[in-house]
């Protein structure tokens, strides 16, 4: 992956040094278009990470903004319940923000951030980085070119095993309702599903068995209806061994071994497509019948690291050359669907998304 080289460099601070913060630091440090100048975290890990990169640690955003290291942009990767407040504090301080998903831990915070984003000239890019994944770029192009025909249905899986240390300090908050598999993982899938197929309008869920003594949910089987007429099914679980998930399938997360196993199958009137095998099955050039062998062909996927591609876009956002490809509104829409999914999981009812959102905001 080669970043576009352009001067002057954008000064970047990383806020929060938990699981994903160090990865963001490494991405920024690798870019010739940016300079990593500070990390912010009140825990000792912040000092340790700052020493690794030879930069200055701060214990609060207030201290950062009043320091000689005030950045042009900041990457926020703190616990979910702090996202909205920190993004608002940073933009009020004159800093562009790359905000890790979700936009907030609840819909009230998300709505507050959305209203704020409409009033500030400083941009907020929501970190649904999988929109930049080369596999998703190719899928999006196939959908827009109607290479699959009219889309009828989507089947998806996000299933793996999170080890006990994932839930230990300083990230024990992942045991809480704001840290379950819906807000931590399904939200990525919901953003991609809506990015590819349009708005989800209705959702039903059956809660899966829980095997830990956590407040958070551990899995569910979901059925989805989209405004476009597409229907979908999706299985999520973080308490079982499985190779069927986005990270394992694509290899985008270096901490999770790549398996190459499929996690999406998209069904259209002309063909179906499995991801990440990228095999398109069709009757191209022959009679369309179940008696006739389907013809497989592979779609080519270019190289590219999603975090790096997303960060390159953020640099352009900071420079005023591009608008955020994933807005606060996009992030809030995904959060609304996920909150509706949680309602469906714990109540057993089918949830109409528009009615659910109206009830929340009325």
How does DSSP assign 207-221, residue by residue? Answer: EPPP-S--SS--EEE
Examine the domain organization and report whether 204 and 76 are in the same domain: no
Residue 54 resides in a domain:
yes
The residues facing 226 across adjacent strands are 200
| Beta pairing partners, 264 | 156, 275
> What does pTM read for this prediction?
0.88
Q: What is the domain range of residue 319?
A: 10-128+306-327
242: in domain: yes
The Cα 202–Cα 16 span in angstroms is 35
| CATH code (residue 174) | 3.30.360.10
Q: How many whole angstroms from its chain centre is CA 232?
A: 19
Number of domains in the chain: 2
Q: Are residues 47 and 155 in the same domain?
A: no
CB atoms within 10 A of CB 292: 10
> What sections of the chain are H helices per DSSP?
21-30, 44-53, 61-65, 83-92, 107-117, 134-144, 181, 187-197, 246-250, 306-319, 328-347, 353-361
Give the per-residue pLDDT at 2. Answer: 47
Same domain, 189 and 118: no
Return the bridge partners of 268, or none. 151
Provide the phi-psi class of 240: left if phi over 0, else alpha when psi is between -120 and 50, else beta: beta
Q: Which residues contact 27 (CB under 8 A, 6 or more apart)?
A: 307, 308, 311
Q: In whole angstroms, how far apart are CA 317 and each of 74, 329, 334, 355?
A: 12, 16, 22, 34
Residue 99 half-sphere exposure toward CB, CA atoms < 13 A? 38
CATH code (residue 50): 3.40.50.720
**In-domain check, residue 240:** yes
**Residue recorded with tokens 């839930």:** 167
Regarding whether 283 and 219 lie in a shared domain, the answer is yes
Structure tokens, 28: 């920024």
Is there a single domain that holds both residue 67 and residue 157? no
- How do the pLDDT tens digits run along the chain, 362 residues long? 444 454 689 999 999 998 889 999 999 999 999 999 999 999 989 999 999 999 999 999 999 999 999 999 999 999 888 999 999 999 999 999 999 988 988 889 999 999 999 999 999 999 999 999 999 999 999 999 999 999 999 999 999 999 999 999 878 889 988 789 998 899 999 999 999 999 999 999 999 999 999 999 999 999 999 999 999 999 999 999 999 999 999 998 888 999 999 999 999 999 999 999 999 999 998 999 999 999 999 999 999 999 999 999 999 999 999 999 999 999 999 999 999 999 999 999 999 999 998 887 76
């Amino acid at each position: 992956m080669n970043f576009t080289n352009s001067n002057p460099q954008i000064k970047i601070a990383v806020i929060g040094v938990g699981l994903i913060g160090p990865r963001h630091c490494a991405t920024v440090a690798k870019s010739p278009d940016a300079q990593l100048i500070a990390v912010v975290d009140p825990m000792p890990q912040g000092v340790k990470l700052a020493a690794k990169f030879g930069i200055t640690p701060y214990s609060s955003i207030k201290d950062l903004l009043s320091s000689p290291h005030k950045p042009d942009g900041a990457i926020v990767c703190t616990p979910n319940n702090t996202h909205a407040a920190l993004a608002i504090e940073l933009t009020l301080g004159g800093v562009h923000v790359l905000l890790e998903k979700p936009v907030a831990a609840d819909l009230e915070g998300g709505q507050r951030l959305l209203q704020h984003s409409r009033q500030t000239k400083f941009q907020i890019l929501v970190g649904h980085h999988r929109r930049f994944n080369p596999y998703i770029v190719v899928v999006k192009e196939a959908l827009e070119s109607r290479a699959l025909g009219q889309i009828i249905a989507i089947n998806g899986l996000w299933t793996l095993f999170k080890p006990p240390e994932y839930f230990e300090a300083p990230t024990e908050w992942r045991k809480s309702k704001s840290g379950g598999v819906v807000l931590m993982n399904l939200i990525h899938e919901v953003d991609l599903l809506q990015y590819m197929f349009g708005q989800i309008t209705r959702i039903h869920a059956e809660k899966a068995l829980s095997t830990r003594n956590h407040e958070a949910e551990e899995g569910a089987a979901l059925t989805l209806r989209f405004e476009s007429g597409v229907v979908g099914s999706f299985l999520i679980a973080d308490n079982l061994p499985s190779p069927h998930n986005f990270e394992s399938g694509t290899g985008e997360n270096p901490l999770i071994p790549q398996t190459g196993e499929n996690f999406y199958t998209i069904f259209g009137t002309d063909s179906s497509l499995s991801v990440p095998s990228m095999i398109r099955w069709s009757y191209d050039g022959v009679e369309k019948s179940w008696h006739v062998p389907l013809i497989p062909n592979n779609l080519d996927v270019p190289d590219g690291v999603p975090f790096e591609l997303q960060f390159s876009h953020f640099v352009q956002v900071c420079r005023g050359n591009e608008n955020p490809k994933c807005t606060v509104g996009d992030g809030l829409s995904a959060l609304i669907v996920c909150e509706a999914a949680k309602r469906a999981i714990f109540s057993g009812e089918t949830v109409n998304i528009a009615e659910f959102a109206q009830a929340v905001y009325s």
